[in-house]
């Protein structure tokens, strides 16, 4: 397996996109400059966060925040993986919410709050019949790459999607959607995520977000629930961990790619976080994969008999 990076751009890009994968390609880094709401139409998808791997199954709805997400697409045995994503900015969502409020008199409220909503950049829910049916329509006419960019059609579909979510009872998906309407929230996170692997001081980041150092630190904790230095180290270690299990790059190459000052410092921090050296972590993963493969072959042989 190998980690590849897919980046979404904010301008001149379609809002509605269909992703199709005909084979299992391994872990990919999806770098979002916009928010995304998607539905898995066929196959399975895995989301990686530290040592945790979350499975998303056909028919489930998910929200992805701005930043880096580590994903793996798994097709069915004979059919390709398919998912539909709606990309949007805070400004896009504000326009839709205003339209629903002014034109239709819709009262939009949300009193839901939980640990999962506040701390995770991804939320997965069962969509219900109406929402799943909504995604089936674009899935039937979109081609593999994307829809021909049509702003009017996209705006209408986005308005319908937002309405279907905000008219439901309060919950994680509704909470994350409405939270993404905060323009300052989105731009703040975008600046932070774009500098994860760069050598930049906290003072410089504060300047880039137009905040004083004190205000920046408070705002950072509100968004990411950790002080800046700790959060940046954890993000880099998470990327390094996935590089170890998904590539054959050397330890020094991975440490350098993840912006650690030297290999020994990288090894020290990695061991503190995962209680194994990078080499031992990679070996453990390879042994686990070998054991799983052996069990799968054993099961296939038993079925053939």
Residue 213 is part of a domain; what is its CATH number? 1.10.10.60
Are 125 and 212 contained in the same domain? no
pLDDT for position 53 = 84
Does residue 301 fall inside a structural domain?
A: no
85-to-60, 62, 193, 194, 259 alpha-carbon distances in Å = 12, 9, 21, 22, 31
Are 268 and 163 contained in the same domain? no
User: In total, how many domains does the chain have?
Assistant: 2
Contact 35, 65 (CB under 8 A): yes
Note the pLDDT tens digit of each residue in 39-67.
999 999 999 876 678 899 999 999 999 88
pLDDT for position 145 = 46
pLDDT for position 258 = 92
Contact 48, 1 (CB under 8 A): no
Residue 97 is part of a domain; what is its CATH number? 2.60.120.10
Are 145 and 115 contained in the same domain? yes
100-to-58, 160, 183 alpha-carbon distances in Å = 30, 10, 18
pLDDT for position 1 = 44
The number of beta carbons lying within 10 Å of the beta carbon of residue 245 is 18
Are 177 and 219 contained in the same domain? no
Are 26 and 136 contained in the same domain? yes
pLDDT for position 173 = 92
Expressed as residue numbers, the domain containing 65 is 4-181
pLDDT for position 2 = 44
Note the pLDDT tens digit of each residue in 29-41.
888 989 999 999 9
Contact 63, 122 (CB under 8 A): yes
Are 114 and 45 contained in the same domain? yes
Are 159 and 70 contained in the same domain? yes
- C-alpha–C-alpha distance, residues 234 and 236, integer Å: 5
79-to-41, 75, 137 alpha-carbon distances in Å = 11, 6, 19
Can you list the residues of the chain whose pLDDT is less than 50? 1-2, 4, 9-11, 144-146
Are 80 and 201 contained in the same domain? no
């Amino acid at each position: 397996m190998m980690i590849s990076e897919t980046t979404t751009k904010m301008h001149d890009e379609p809002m509605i996109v269909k992703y199709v994968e005909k084979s299992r390609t391994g872990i990919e880094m999806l770098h979002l400059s916009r928010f995304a709401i998607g539905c898995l139409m066929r196959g399975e998808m895995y989301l990686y966060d530290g040592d945790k791997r979350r499975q998303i199954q056909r028919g489930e709805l998910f929200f992805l925040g701005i930043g880096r997400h580590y994903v793996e697409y798994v097709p069915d045995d004979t059919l390709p993986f398919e998912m539909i994503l709606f990309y949007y900015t805070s400004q896009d969502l504000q326009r839709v919410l205003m339209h629903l409020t002014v034109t239709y008199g819709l009262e939009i409220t949300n009193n839901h709050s939980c640990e999962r909503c506040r701390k995770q950049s991804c939320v997965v829910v069962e969509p219900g019949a109406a929402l799943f049916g909504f995604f089936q329509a674009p899935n039937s006419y979109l081609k593999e790459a994307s829809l021909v960019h049509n702003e009017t059609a996209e705006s209408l579909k986005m308005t319908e999607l937002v309405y279907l979510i905000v008219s439901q009872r309060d919950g994680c998906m509704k909470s994350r959607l409405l939270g993404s309407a905060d323009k300052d929230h989105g731009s703040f996170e975008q600046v932070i995520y774009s500098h994860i692997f760069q050598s930049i001081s906290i003072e410089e980041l504060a300047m880039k977000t137009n905040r004083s150092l004190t205000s920046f630190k408070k705002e950072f904790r509100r968004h990411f629930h950790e002080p800046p230095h700790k959060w940046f180290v954890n993000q880099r270690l998470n990327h390094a961990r996935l590089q170890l299990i998904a590539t054959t790059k050397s330890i020094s190459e991975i440490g350098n790619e993840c912006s650690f000052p030297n290999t020994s410092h990288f090894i020290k921090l990695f061991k503190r976080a995962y209680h194994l050296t990078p080499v031992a972590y990679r070996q453990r993963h390879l042994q686990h994969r070998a054991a799983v493969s052996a069990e799968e072959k054993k099961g296939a042989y038993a079925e053939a008999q």
